[in-house]
């Protein structure tokens, strides 16, 4: 008799545990689904903001025959996936191709980064961060806090980075252009710049 009760209560316990587990999985699925929906909506609205903000290509049109670029976003790198678009100088001459701001904004970062070399980060009014890396030099007056207009000179394309400050020539002359948005939890997330550059570029 006692054995039968043990089996009965064991079955009841298993049914209850299964019910709790199923309910928990449903809640988790709903939570993740809501989170994914919010993330997708954030990305969609950010993409619209990028299209509205990007008003010029980061290299002046007079230099169109000197540059080339492909969709290298996500390509394997020693330090992880590539988080931008590389605009290459066909002639590989550092310091000769101007780099201009593609948007209006404020300089929130300027100076040396180990990987990015001499770089400039511009944050737009919408909070989107535009990143220009591997510069050879800066334009006069570029400093954090400075307001920037579309088409304004930032500096010149170079080959700096991947080393201590002043390191040059570890790779060909190019501009690494990146775009970063904030996700629903406030974390920075890269966006592929290539399709946006195609829309405004050449």
Enter the CATH code of domain 1-202.
2.70.70.10
SS3 letters for 110-170?
EEEECCCEEEEEEECCCCCEEEEEEEEEECCCCCCCCEECCCCEEEEEECECCCCCCCECC
Least confident of 34-48, 56-70, 151-165, 175-189: 34-48
Domain layout of the chain by residue ranges:
1-202
Both tokens of residue 37?
């929906």
Determine the average pLDDT of the residues in 170-195: 92
In the predicted model, is pLDDT for residue 81 greater than 90?
A: no
The whole-model pTM stands at 0.78
pLDDT, tens digit, for every residue of 125-161?
A: 999 999 999 999 999 999 999 999 999 999 999 999 9
């Amino acid at each position: 008799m006692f054995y039968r009760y043990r089996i009965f209560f064991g079955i009841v316990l298993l049914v209850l545990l299964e019910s709790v587990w199923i309910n928990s999985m449903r809640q988790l699925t709903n939570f993740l689904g809501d989170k994914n929906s919010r993330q997708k909506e954030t990305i969609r609205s950010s993409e619209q903001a990028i299209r509205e903000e990007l008003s010029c290509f980061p290299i002046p049109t007079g230099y169109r025959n000197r540059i080339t670029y492909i969709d290298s976003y996500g390509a394997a790198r020693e330090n992880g996936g590539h988080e931008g678009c590389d605009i290459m100088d066909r002639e590989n001459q550092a310091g000769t191709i101007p780099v201009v701001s593609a948007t209006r904004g404020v300089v929130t970062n300027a100076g040396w980064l180990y990987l990015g070399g001499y770089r400039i980060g511009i944050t737009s009014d919408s909070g989107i961060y535009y990143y220009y890396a591997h510069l050879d030099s800066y334009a006069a007056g570029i400093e954090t806090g400075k307001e920037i207009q579309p088409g304004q000179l930032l500096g010149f394309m170079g080959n700096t980075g991947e080393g201590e400050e002043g390191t040059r020539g570890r790779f060909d002359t190019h501009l690494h252009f990146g775009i970063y948005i904030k996700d629903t939890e406030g974390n920075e997330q890269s966006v592929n710049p290539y399709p946006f550059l195609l829309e405004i570029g050449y």
